[in-house]
Structure 1
Amino acid sequence: MRAARETPVRVGVFGLLGSGNLGNDGSLEAVLGYLRAEHPDAAVDALCGGPEVVAARYRIPATRLHWYRGEYRTASRAGAIVGKGLGKLVDAFRTGAWVRRHDVVIVPGMGVLEATLPLRPWGFPYALFLLCASGRLFGTRVALVGVGAAPIGSRPTRALVRWSARLATYRSYRDALSRDAIRAMGVDTARDEVYPDLAFALPAPQAPSSPPGGQVCVGVMDFHGGDDDRARADEIHRRYLEGTTRFVRALVDEGRPVRLLTGDECDAPVVAAILDAVDSPLVTAADAASLADLMKETAAADTVVATRYHNLICALKAGTPTLALSYAAKSDALMDRMGLGAYRHPAREVDAERLLEQFRELERRSAELRETLAERNLDATRQLEHQFTALTAALFPTTAQAQAPAQRHAHDHDHAMRETR
């Protein structure tokens, strides 16, 4: 018994981490913060998309998610097609061997149960299924923590997502729409909970030393529609880019400084296109390497207009009045949760004139909305504390049992103090 307690619990983290998406990495950072605070003796490593980045930035061992390095490039030649096919077989063994070495595997946030952006079933959905099936096979607890889900049109993708969710030991979601989507796929969600996105657990940025000077942050995205929009992806992208550019130009014409934000490496061409089209010293681009960097940028702004989900979260977490260029139901749910549900504009149909009207209304209510965001952020912090307590109980039962007497003692002490007063 003593030897068993002295052996550190082995925890793996899994996902498209270190691959250039700041939102995914922010979710990882939140979970690592929880593990280091509540389970400091845990031995943590990763199976992820960008192992070099994860190892260097977060100081944990990391292994490449896919054996075939060209997994997310289009395979047009015979050699690439064979490589991808062989990689699927090799990954089944690699994933199983990795999972078997762990007591617990955590998938930290991310939209792993959705296809709101173009997605092939044999890509990440297949990888997630291998993870969850391996966990069930080898008795490793697999937790999908604060994940996003949405209705999926593709039958193969939907089947892989459904079975992944069923095979996981623990599930929680970043909004009620995600839980509803998984329930509609035939998964029993009676014990599943909904909490704010994990990024709300990250440290809040410091308030700017001086009041914002009229700057507007505009978060852009390499947006081509969703998985069901492949036939008109180019047209959707053109309309999004043209409408966003017209909006930025209108702000510049009013003398407003504009700071362009991204959330993924693939967004860089959109920034370049806007800079080229507007061609003004009032428009600059941020070089953010983390969600913390994005939060600092949004905290220094008067107002934020953004597309990417985690651009929105950073702005809302910073307490800055925000308007969403919404491309999925998750963005709408987030804005509703934070009390700004009225400030949404469709990313597929960006109308610069209407967007400007909504923007001006947002700015008129700025002081009121900042108070609303302060209240909602406090509530999000409390809810995520409950999330991590529930996660410990589900995945680290020995630790939870050890903490219970101390928690009861603290509760009894607080009760006695109240009685004395």
Structure 2
Amino acid sequence: MKAPKKVGVFGLLGSGNLGNDGSLEAVLGYLRAEHPEAAVDALCGGPEAVTARYGIPATRLHWYRGEYRTASRAGAVAGKGLGKLVDAVRTAAWVRRHDVVIVPGMGVLEATLPLRPWGFPYALFLLCASGRLLRTRVALVGVGADTIRDRPTRALVRWSARLAAYRSYRDALSRDAMRAMGVDTARDEVYPDLAFALPVPGAEASPGTVCVGVMDFHGGNDDRARAEEIHRCYLDGTTRFVRALADEGRQVRLLTGDACDTPVVAAILDAVDSPLVTAADAASLADLLKETAAADTVVATRYHNLVCALKAGTPALALSYAAKSDALMDRMGLAAYCHPAREVDADRLLEQFRELEKRSGELRRTLTERNEAAAQQLAQHFAALTTALFPASQHAQGHAQAHARQESP
């Protein structure tokens, strides 16, 4: 009997971003259903949280614990520098122990939010380079990408993608971006976001409720000079929109998608000061799915807030901060309901919101159809993943099926 496959999962998992963790949950569900013999562990941002929630061993992604804090003192700068060298050895040693490493979803090939090249892009490059050198298959599964202007970040992302053994994307925009950055994508496929594979928990309907997903939004990598101005405009417009809903007697539930969004929720609650406006305590993507399933309508900024609403079949309006949100809304038949997060106009947002609600019944039917298609496409995705990463399992499965046919009367 062969030893079980050793499968690693890699990324900023367990660090407070619910979308990232939802992608991990979808991949773990696939592995447990199709490859229950696989021994799975993680190299991730929040190992304690991943082990507690998903029951798999996990190791800290970075040796230096202050990796994502700004280094202003000499000691911190030296610690970060040393950490880069130590992480090269640690990552290679971790990769060597595995037959396959999966990067589950996430926007690992994009810089739509502020990002330094020597943070996660460097960590991803170490992973993919180690995989190529040590002959461990590294798979970028259902990932997001976008064209990157910053040269060091673009170089690290491009080489990471080139060195990976398998790539698939969550939208055509991502594949096009990687092709534009010099990656051969001829064999790469596009499938719906991995979170569409998650089940929708049962939820008691809350008639009239509007979920508003907020974000600690300061623009992207190219907006650093205007970050505070962009944030003020976003917060002011979103607050005015929530206040208008409360003034009309609507129940509003504020949603987040990352631990860093909490101050935005607090600022809106303080400014609106209405018992009709409350904050949801969502600790997982399942919690977000339940909240959005119960609502009449969703207005949201974070990408995976939108995914949850659309997966739950609830009409949604995107406060779009990146092309990925526009692509998602187009895929699900709601392309007309996008509003720029950088320039939130509360009056225009209310107009779009009312148009959305007028078409609610029609849009719910559209979402049902699109979700059925997404489920079929993700089944194909997981089958393709098995073929690419577990060829022996695929062969054994086919042999067993053939044998069963021969034995049947």
The corresponding residue for 1:142 is 138
What SS does the corresponding residue of 1:305 show, helix, strand or coil?
Answer: strand
Matched, 1:66 2:62: yes
Q: How does 1:143-158 map to 2 (within 5 A)?
A: 143-158=139-154
Q: Distance in 2 between matches of 1:408 and 1:202?
A: 31
1:388/1:238 Cα in 2 relative to 1: closer, same or farther (>3 Å)? same
What SS does the corresponding residue of 1:126 show, helix, strand or coil?
Answer: helix
Q: Distance in 2 between matches of 1:19 and 1:301?
A: 27
The corresponding residue for 2:43 is 47
Matched, 1:289 2:302: no
What SS does the corresponding residue of 2:278 show, helix, strand or coil?
Answer: strand
How far 1:402 moved relative to its partner?
A: 1.3
Matched, 1:34 2:21: no
Pick the aligned partner of 1:403 from 397, 402, 405: 397
Q: Distance in 1 between matches of 2:406 and 2:385?
A: 24
What SS does the corresponding residue of 2:118 show, helix, strand or coil?
Answer: coil
The corresponding residue for 1:233 is 227
Matched, 1:382 2:382: no
- For the aligned residue pairs, the C-alpha RMSD in angstroms reads 1.4
Matched, 1:197 2:197: no
1:411/1:270 Cα in 2 relative to 1: closer, same or farther (>3 Å)? farther
What is the TM-score of this pair, normalised by structure 1? 0.95
The structure 1 segments of at least 4 consecutive aligned residues displaced by more than 3 Å after TM superposition are 405-413
The corresponding residue for 2:206 is 212
What SS does the corresponding residue of 1:116 show, helix, strand or coil?
Answer: coil
How far 1:206 moved relative to its partner?
A: 2.4
Q: How many residues align?
A: 408
What SS does the corresponding residue of 2:142 show, helix, strand or coil?
Answer: strand
Q: How does 1:355-374 map to 2 (within 5 A)?
A: 355-374=349-368
Query: Structure 1, residues 171-201: CA drift from partner, whole Å, max 9, x if none?
Result: 0000000000001111110000000000000
Pick the aligned partner of 1:168 from 153, 156, 164: 164
What SS does the corresponding residue of 1:67 show, helix, strand or coil?
Answer: coil
The corresponding residue for 2:301 is 307
Matched, 1:113 2:109: yes
Q: Residues 203 and 291 of structure 2 are in contact (CA less than 8 Å); yes or no, is this contact kept in structure 1?
A: no
The corresponding residue for 1:182 is 178
Letter in 1 for 2:167: R
The corresponding residue for 1:351 is 345
Q: Residues 218 and 227 of structure 2 are in contact (CA less than 8 Å); yes or no, is this contact kept in structure 1?
A: yes
The corresponding residue for 2:16 is 20
The corresponding residue for 2:320 is 326
What is the TM-score of this pair, normalised by structure 2? 0.98
What SS does the corresponding residue of 2:16 show, helix, strand or coil?
Answer: coil
Structure 1 window deviating more from structure 2 (293-302 vs 199-208): it is 199-208
1:411/1:332 Cα in 2 relative to 1: closer, same or farther (>3 Å)? farther
1:52/1:22 Cα in 2 relative to 1: closer, same or farther (>3 Å)? same
How far 1:401 moved relative to its partner?
A: 0.8
1:412/1:144 Cα in 2 relative to 1: closer, same or farther (>3 Å)? farther
Query: Structure 1, residues 303-347: CA drift from partner, whole Å, max 9, x if none?
Result: 000000000000001100100000000000000000000000000
Q: Distance in 2 between matches of 1:205 and 1:64?
A: 31
What SS does the corresponding residue of 1:244 show, helix, strand or coil?
Answer: helix
Q: Distance in 2 between matches of 1:288 and 1:412?
A: 51
Matched, 1:276 2:266: no
Identity %: 84
Pick the aligned partner of 1:391 from 368, 385, 391: 385
How far 1:411 moved relative to its partner?
A: 9.6
Letter in 2 for 1:74: T
Q: Distance in 2 between matches of 1:367 and 1:135?
A: 49
How far 1:238 moved relative to its partner?
A: 0.3
Q: Distance in 2 between matches of 1:74 and 1:176?
A: 34
How far 1:387 moved relative to its partner?
A: 0.5
Q: Distance in 2 between matches of 1:258 and 1:196?
A: 29
Q: Distance in 2 between matches of 1:205 and 1:60?
A: 23
Q: Distance in 1 between matches of 2:380 and 2:322?
A: 27
What SS does the corresponding residue of 1:355 show, helix, strand or coil?
Answer: helix
Query: Structure 1, residues 396-421: CA drift from partner, whole Å, max 9, x if none?
Result: 000011122455689999xx9xxxxx
Query: Structure 1, residues 112-168: CA drift from partner, whole Å, max 9, x if none?
Result: 000000000000000000000000000000000000000001000000000000000
Uncovered stretches (5+) of structure 2, i.e. residues with no partner: none
Query: Structure 1, residues 35-65: CA drift from partner, whole Å, max 9, x if none?
Result: 0001101110000000000011100000000
Q: Distance in 1 between matches of 2:6 and 2:208?
A: 49
Letter in 1 for 2:352: Q
What SS does the corresponding residue of 2:250 show, helix, strand or coil?
Answer: coil
Query: Structure 1, residues 241-278: CA drift from partner, whole Å, max 9, x if none?
Result: 00000000000110001000000000000000000000
1:304/1:412 Cα in 2 relative to 1: closer, same or farther (>3 Å)? farther
The corresponding residue for 1:103 is 99
Q: Distance in 2 between matches of 1:124 and 1:219?
A: 25
Letter in 1 for 2:138: V
Uncovered stretches (5+) of structure 1, i.e. residues with no partner: 417-421
1:408/1:201 Cα in 2 relative to 1: closer, same or farther (>3 Å)? farther
